[in-house]
Chains A and B, each alone.
Chain A
Amino acid sequence: MRQSYFRVLQLITGVAVFFLIAAHVTALRLDDFAGVFGVHIEEPTSWGSVMDRATSAGWASFYIILLAVAIYHALYGLRVVLMELPWPPVIARSLNYIMMGIGIAVFGYGTFIALNAYYS
Chain B
Amino acid sequence: MTEKEKSLTAEELTFRVQRYEPTRDEKSHLQEFVIPFTKGMTVLDGLNYIKEKIDNTLAFRTSCRMGICGSCGMLINGLPKLACHTPVEELGKDVVEIKSLPNYGIIKDLIPDLIPLFESHKAIKPYILRSDSEEMEEPTAEYTQSPQELEEYLQFSYCVKCGICLAACPTSATDVLFLGPQSLAQAYRYCADSRDEGVRERTAIVDSGHGVWLCHLAGACSEACPKGVDPALAIQLLKRTVLAQTLRLRKKKEPSLVAPPPAEEKPKLPVPEFTAKR
**A and B in direct contact, judged by CB atoms within 8 A:** yes
Interface residues of A (CB under 8 A from B): 2-5, 7-8, 80, 83-86
Q: Count how many pairs of residues, one from A and one from B, have CB atoms less than 8 Å apart in the complex.
A: 34
Q: How far is the CA of A7 from the CA of B247 in the complex (A)?
A: 12
What would 15 A/B residue contacts be, using CB atoms closer than 8 Å?
Answer: A2-B207, A2-B246, A3-B207, A3-B211, A3-B213, A4-B207, A4-B242, A4-B243, A7-B243, A83-B209, A83-B210, A83-B214, A84-B171, A85-B174, A85-B175
Quote the shortest CB–CB distance from B95 to chain A (angstroms): 34
B69 in the interface (beta carbon within 8 A): no
- Say whether, besides A2-B246, A4-B243, A83 and B175 are in contact (CB < 8 Å): yes
Q: Which chain A residue has the least Cβ–Cβ distance from B204?
A: A2
| Per-residue A-contact encoding for B175-186, CB less than 8 Å = 1, 0 else | 110100000000
How long is the Cα–Cα vector from A8 to B247 in the complex, in angstroms?
Answer: 10
Residues of B within 8 A of A2 (CB): 207, 246
B208 in contact (CB, < 8 A): yes
Considering the chains assembled together, what is the distance between the CA atoms of A80 and B209 in angstroms? Answer: 9
Identity of the chain B residue whose Cβ is nearest the Cβ of A79 in the assembled complex: B209
Known A3-B208, A4-B243, A84-B174; 5 more pairs at CB < 8 Å: A3-B207, A8-B243, A83-B175, A84-B171, A84-B178
Are B174 and A3 in touch, CB under 8 angstroms? no
Return chain A residues, CB-CB under 8 Å to B175: 83-86
Docked CA distance A19–B81 (Å): 43
Q: A4-B243, A8-B247 are in contact. Are A80 and B174 (CB under 8 A)?
A: no
Per-position 1/0 for B183-213, Cβ under 8 A of A: 0000000000000000000000001111101
User: A residues within 8 A CB of B207?
Assistant: 2-4
Q: What is the CB-to-nearest-CB distance from B103 to chain A, in angstroms, rounded to a whole number?
A: 12
A84: nearest chain-B partner, CB-CB: B175
Which residues of the other chain, A, contact B247 by a CB distance below 8 angstroms?
4, 8
CB-CB under 8 A from B242, the residues of chain A are 4
- Contact of A86 with B174 at beta-carbon distance under 8 Å, contacts A3-B207, A3-B211, A3-B213 already known: yes
Please give, as numbers and ranges, the residues of chain A lying within 8 Å of B209 by CB-CB distance: 3, 83
The answer to whether B178 touches A4, judged by C-beta atoms less than 8 angstroms apart, is no
B87 to chain A, nearest CB (A): 35
